[in-house]
């Protein structure tokens, strides 16, 4: 639950936040596959790269409610927005993504604080911020960005 995740991270050090994951229940392959997934940002497909990405938070996750519908042409294709770049320049976080309709930024209280692809954290009283990209297929969530006060 995203609100509980924010509550937990609210009380942690900004450089020791809990990363988010999204996983299928997989009670039945026909009704649970391809609804939840992670996108790991790795240079090579190796165990060491995967471990580093998990430790560093170099991944994001998506939820696609109809992803398990094998009658759709999009079945198994991960149709949610894709994060393609993250740039942090002093106090400004800029995200680049594809296939999205909207982006929303949230603070430690799960309050909406912005709706553009960039967020200046210098004026935000929060332990962290995180972003959610949406399209007609679902949502893609960034990891929290810790803010040193």
Q: What is the value of pTM for the model shown?
A: 0.92
DSSP string, 117-137: SEEEGGG--SSEEEEEEEETT
Question: What stretch of H or E contains 31?
Answer: helix 29-32
pLDDT at res. 68: 79
Whole-angstrom distance, CA of residue 25 vs CA of residue 134: 22
What's the full length of the chain, in residues? Answer: 149
Whole-angstrom distance, CA of residue 103 vs CA of residue 114: 8
Start-to-end C-alpha separation, the chain: 26
Tens-level pLDDT at each residue, the chain (149 residues): 789 999 999 999 999 999 999 887 767 666 667 888 999 999 999 999 999 999 999 999 999 988 878 888 888 889 999 999 999 999 999 999 999 999 999 999 999 999 999 999 999 999 999 999 999 999 999 999 999 87
pLDDT at res. 30: 63
| Residue 105: closest CA among 135, 80, 78, 126 | 126
Domain range for 12: 2-146
* Domains in the chain, number: 1
């Amino acid at each position: 639950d995203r609100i509980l995740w924010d509550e937990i991270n609210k009380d942690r050090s900004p450089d020791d936040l809990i990363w988010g994951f999204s996983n299928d229940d997989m009670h039945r392959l026909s009704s649970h596959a391809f609804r939840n997934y992670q996108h790991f940002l790795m240079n090579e497909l190796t165990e060491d790269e995967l471990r580093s990405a998990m430790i560093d938070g170099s991944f994001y996750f998506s939820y696609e409610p109809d992803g398990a519908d094998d009658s759709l042409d999009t079945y198994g294709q991960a149709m949610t927005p894709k994060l393609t770049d993250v740039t942090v320049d002093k106090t400004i976080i800029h995200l680049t993504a594809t296939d999205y309709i909207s982006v929303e930024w949230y603070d430690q209280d799960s309050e909406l604080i912005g709706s553009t692809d960039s967020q200046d954290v210098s004026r935000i009283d929060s332990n962290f911020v995180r972003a959610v990209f949406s399209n007609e297929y679902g949502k893609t969530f960034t990891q929290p960005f810790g803010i040193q006060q």
